[in-house]
Amino acid sequence: MSSALALGMACLVLGSCSQSRRLPALTDAQAETLDSTSFLGGAVPPESLLGKFSQHQCTVRTDSLLGIDILHLTWWKGPALSERKSFPWPAEKPNNLDSVEALGGISVWLKKTGPSQSDPVMVFELEDRNGMRSSTSLAPHHIPTFPLDTVWQEARIPLSDFNRGRDQTDWSDLVAFNLRMEHFGDIEIGACILVPHAPIKKVVRRASKRPLADIAPGRFIVFEENADHEWGLGQFGPDRQFIVKEKRGRSKSQALDFEWDFSPNPLTLEAPEFPTHTVGFSWNRWQAMAQPAQPDAAFIVFKLRNIGVNPGPTAPLPIQVGLADADGHTSTITLTQDLIPATGFGKWMECRIPFSAFDWATEEDPDGLGSIGYLFFEFSEKGHIYIDDLYVRF
């Protein structure tokens, strides 16, 4: 090993060790799960990961500093939803993370390829055998320098952060770890492994002091033909379809086509394992924003066409619209007939929900929303709707 390479490796090791942390105590079974699973690093990546695809390209090279093969990923915005790299769960490695959700994390080495490159938006996912996914985006408390710079650094992402879609993903039977590449980005990614996790206090403390992004006045598109930042979309069987599809009728533009049936089994009356489904969206690259100064003058706006739920003259739709903040608090409202009248069945109708309809944190109620992380729709019972022209206005 050359002196320059030895010096570089020593700097990386010392930099990592300087961020001391007290790792959790593990049983033998938990240690086996968290100490032996590698998704990338040490072996040549599969050929299926490499090449040029519709909205990204991937190459491999040997990094002289890390001493391993690393992936170079470049991606761009296109007409379809953002693409993902899927790293299959290693064969014969434990794939049940239920017992280590509060103890484990993902360690991944990352860097941006050049200072002039845009700040990449990266979403990490855990995928189960049914294609359902829990996700989280790279955040300031995961990594020493955020956004990414051109120096290798280790991101530590606790499993407990994979909460988008957690309640509809089976963590007892995971099959892949994914990297979702949103908007634009150009990065290199090194070793990626499952590890025991404890927060790096210095990084978490620095992240807690970052000010929330201010809300600029204007109209911000969330879905119009496509969505830059989403989770929960996909085809998950005949009773759980949440896709982008061409609208019915003369207009051939794209809309969100949501069709679901979570009714109990007619023979056994047994409820489905996951009796709801949630789809979430961001218009701010998953970065938390401050509360609107005038919540009664800020709105979530969308068009909805109900073609599968006839609620009668008074009942609401089995749909809730919600906001989540950076700390995991959520607040929802139900789509009552004040918002979507039943007389509009089969027709496109506009829905306007003021931000004042949600519960915001106060001194008396600190469990309310303290920021805006993303908006979401939660579906229950049974239905079929289209949603289009989804935006927020401040």
pLDDT 10s digits, 271-284: 999 999 999 999 99
Domain borders along the chain are: 19-205, 219-393
Topology given in CATH for the domain delimited by 19-205:
Jelly Rolls (2.60.120)
Helix (H) or strand (E) holding 386: strand 382-393
In this predicted structure, what is the pLDDT of residue 111?
96
For 196, the 3-state DSSP assignment is strand
Do 189 and 73 form a contact (C-beta atoms < 8 A)? yes
Identical fold for domains 19-205 and 219-393, yes or no, is yes
Query: In 95-248, at which residue ranges do the beta strands (DSSP E only) sit?
Result: 104-112, 121-128, 133-137, 153-158, 174-182, 185-196, 219-223, 230-231, 234-235, 240-246
Assign residue 249 a region (left: φ > 0; alpha: ψ between -120 and 50; beta: otherwise).
Answer: left
In this predicted structure, what is the pLDDT of residue 3?
40
User: Residue 51 CB: number of other CB atoms within 10 A?
Assistant: 10
Residues of the chain with confidence (pLDDT) below 70: 1-22, 42, 248-251
In this predicted structure, what is the pLDDT of residue 309?
79
In this predicted structure, what is the pLDDT of residue 164?
97
Architecture of domain 219-393: Sandwich (2.60)
In this predicted structure, what is the pLDDT of residue 112?
95
